[in-house]
Amino acid sequence: MVTGPASTEIAAAPVAPGNSARIERETHKLEKRLCRLMGQAVIDYNMIGEGDRVMVCVSGGKDSYAMLDILLKLRARAPVHFDLIAVNLDQKQPGFPEDVLPRYLRALGVPFHIENQDTYSIVKRVIPEGKTMCSLCSRLRRGILYRVADELGATRIALGHHRDDILQTFFLNMFFGGKLKGMPPKLVSDDGRHVVIRPLALVAERDLARWAAQRQFPIIPCTLCGSQTNLQRKQVGQMLRDWEKQYPGRIESMFTALQNVVPSHLMDGTRYDFSGLTASGVPSPDGDLAFDTEEFGASAMAPVQVVRFDA
Ligand code: SF4
């Protein structure tokens, strides 16, 4: 696994029976939405520029296949020129079907590199039986990918995390880390030398599942290592899906909130100068709400009004 948590909980919604014209229309709409959201993320966060060489990390999961697929479509119509090179890290997990990705990438006509590194044996040797292996495994993977990016002359490293991964991470950090912290759409790598981007940052996982089913990507299961994938992440994912079911629109509202931070209404004195705050004598156009509790319509639990990206 190269690009992070590939959830198995979200199954592709079955394509509703109907005439082929309708299915084609729905597929076309989905493709447009995926391209639009990826394009928006690339522009909003200035992810890719003229002359960039983007190393696309492909694990064999639905998200990274979709990322590569949509990046190829975007590149064909982008106003700037950039290169893509797909990279898979074969960690030598037992049963990893090593022919699947090369065959797929060759057929696609994309330049690619398979990096063979037996991190599986290292992790097995170091981590006691029954303990989760993911943190060491990820650390090793990260180091290898940075080295490969150097060797390939990549100026961007693209990972396949999506909107739901970002939200899950946000809640995990809040519940278990005591931090308001998500997963950035763009960051500088730990070694300070690479720019890591998440072009799927605005895309919903359910859309990626539908796209993967539509495109029939040759999915490689992410459980080959036999490790328990992060149980807490699974639970938070389920919590979010349950909320969304009960209060449709909640996920989008929360995701919009991540892009609308109001430091003056939080409590972090390092982000907002509370101690230096004095009366300015100038009324605030929004009011201060100092003595009010905020109202959210007839019922605070009713579906919220949000801007839908896929409207
Ligand atoms: S141990 Fe397995 S599940 Fe965990 S990060 Fe590594 S490959 Fe993924």
Residue 4 confidence (pLDDT): 39
Binned at pLDDT 50, 70 and 90, residue 291 comes out as low
Q: Closest residue (by CA) to atom 1 of ligand 1?
A: 134
CA 250, CA 305: separation in Å to the nearest integer?
A: 9
pLDDT tens per residue, range 15-71: 556 678 888 899 999 999 999 999 999 999 999 999 999 999 999 999 999 999 999
Sign of the torsion angle spanned by Cα atoms 250, 255, 179, 233: positive
Residue 15 confidence (pLDDT): 53
Counting residues of the chain whose pLDDT is more than 70, the rounded percentage is: 84
pTM value is 0.86
Token pair belonging to 231? 């149980």
Pocket of ligand 1 from Cβ distances under 6 Å? 1, 133-134, 137-138, 225, 227, 229
pLDDT tens per residue, range 140-191: 999 999 999 999 999 999 999 999 999 999 999 999 999 999 999 999 987 7
CA 145, CA 163: separation in Å to the nearest integer?
A: 23
- Look at 75-79, 124-128, 166-170, 228-232 and tell me which has the smallest mean pLDDT: 228-232
Q: What are the two backbone dihedrals, phi and then psi, of residue 83, each rounded to the nearest 5 degrees?
A: -105, 150
Token pair belonging to 253? 């509202």
Q: Closest residue (by CA) to atom 8 of ligand 1?
A: 1
Binned at pLDDT 50, 70 and 90, residue 307 comes out as very low
Binned at pLDDT 50, 70 and 90, residue 238 comes out as very high
End-to-end CA distance of the chain: give it in Å, rounded. 33
- Look at 33-37, 150-154, 246-250, 281-285 and tell me which has the smallest mean pLDDT: 281-285
Does residue 85 have a pLDDT over 70?
Answer: yes
Position in ligand 1 atom list of the atom nearest CA 225: 2
Counting residues of the chain whose pLDDT is more than 90, the rounded percentage is: 70
User: Rounded mean pLDDT of the chain?
Assistant: 87
What domains can you pick out in the chain, each with its CATH number? 20-246 (3.40.50.620)
Position in ligand 1 atom list of the atom nearest CA 223: 3
